[in-house]
Structure 1
Amino acid sequence: MKIGVLSDTHSKIKRAKIALDFLIAEGAEFIIHAGDIVEPEILELLANCGKKYIAVYGNNDAHLAAYHNDYNLVQEPYYFKLADTKFKLMHLPFYMTADAEVVIFGHTHAFEIEFKGKTLYLNPGEVCARNKALSECVMLEVKSNKFIVNYYTRKPKKEFKLQKTYEFKRQKSE
């Protein structure tokens, strides 16, 4: 299963739409937003993208509680199962325990990837291009025997470009 992952869109609605459209064009079957959504319009983009999605509140999203029942918004840490895989979704990197196969987080505005033991830790970086002059997102492909992560960046007024592909052998717990 291909899962599009983005985070830290902040108030950049156009950049969020470009990233979301790109991930869907690349075959994303599910979308995960790792927080700091900020704008209700970004929730609307997620809800109308034609894919199932989940989004976690970030430290800049308290005002979005008014929309909680209208969108698939969750509080951190949030555990769920997708593609026969246990996920933990959060914004702040405070719950970095290996109690899921995939731990997705945001907040730092920096792409991070690490595979320790049986757990993949993944931060897709920032869509908003606040800390650097580029937007970032990832495609996580979950296969029965491995995780494949494609890391993409986009400079202003350019197309998204694959920067690197990571593969990790999956070690299923019995």
Structure 2
Amino acid sequence: MARRLLGLISDTHDNLKAVDQALKIFKDYNVKLILHAGDWVAPFTLKRLAQAGIKIIGVFGNNDGEKRLLLEFAKKFNVDLNTEIATININDKNIALIHGTSSIIVEALARSNMFDVVVYGHTHKKELRRIGKTLLINPGEACGYLSGEATVAILDVETIDVKFLTLNV
């Protein structure tokens, strides 16, 4: 069976150069699903990601002000956009996707033992750590605006291996 790789991205903040580089990486890795942990910001960012032809599941972030239009674009471009949290089951792995504005909620999801993986964003810092059986992954900020490091991640759903990749923005 082919490996099931997911592309993890967060905090794009309208940086289309970063989005384009992330999409190239995801295509190079033959990613079949992108998880976006919020802070798309404008609907044109969602549109750009969706036009790549890779299935996308995402959530809103705290900087996504134009929620109504984001939802309209999501419907138009067949993006599964959720307001607070998305739960996904792939290869018998339960994954939670949340923006992560509250670190208490992120950690509570991990401690609940309901999920094998919790993917979140918001902090603009890449992170990989375990709480109990749950792996917490923050792919970092794709935009590179706050930390100066633009990153995305690839998750192998079968092995739960994670690889961080740097974007040149």
Is 2:103 the counterpart of 1:113?
A: no
Conserved 8 A contact 2:43-2:69: no
TM-superposed CA distance for 1:42, in Å, is 1.4
Give TM-score scaled by structure 1 length: 0.82
What SS does the corresponding residue of 2:160 show, helix, strand or coil?
strand
Conserved 8 A contact 2:46-2:73: no
Moved over 3 A (4+): none
**What are the residue-to-residue correspondences of 1:132-147 with 2, within 5 Å?**
132-143=147-158, 146-147=159-160
Rounded to whole Å, the distance in 2 between the matches of 1:52 and 1:107 is 22
**What are the residue-to-residue correspondences of 1:70-89 with 2, within 5 Å?**
70-71=73-74, 72-89=80-97
Conserved 8 A contact 1:88-1:102: yes
Structure with the larger strand share: 1
State the superposition RMSD in angstroms.
1.5
Structure with the larger helix share: 2
Conserved 8 A contact 1:4-1:24: no
What SS does the corresponding residue of 1:3 show, helix, strand or coil?
strand
What SS does the corresponding residue of 1:5 show, helix, strand or coil?
strand
Q: Structure 1 stretches of 5 or more lacking a match?
A: 157-174
Is 2:26 the counterpart of 1:23?
A: yes
Q: Which residue of 1 aligns with 2:52?
A: 49
What SS does the corresponding residue of 1:62 show, helix, strand or coil?
coil
Count of residue pairs brought into register by the alignment: 154
Q: Which residue of 2 aligns with 1:37?
A: 40
Conserved 8 A contact 2:21-2:167: no
**What are the residue-to-residue correspondences of 1:88-107 with 2, within 5 Å?**
88-94=96-102, 95-96=105-106, 97-98=109-110, 99-107=114-122
Give TM-score scaled by structure 2 length: 0.84
What SS does the corresponding residue of 2:48 show, helix, strand or coil?
helix
TM-superposed CA distance for 1:64, in Å, is 2.8
Could you tell me the percent identity over the aligned residues? 34
Which structure exhibits the higher relative contact order, with contacts defined as CA atoms closer than 8 Å and separated by 6 or more residues?
Answer: 2
Rounded to whole Å, the distance in 1 between the matches of 2:73 and 2:91 is 25
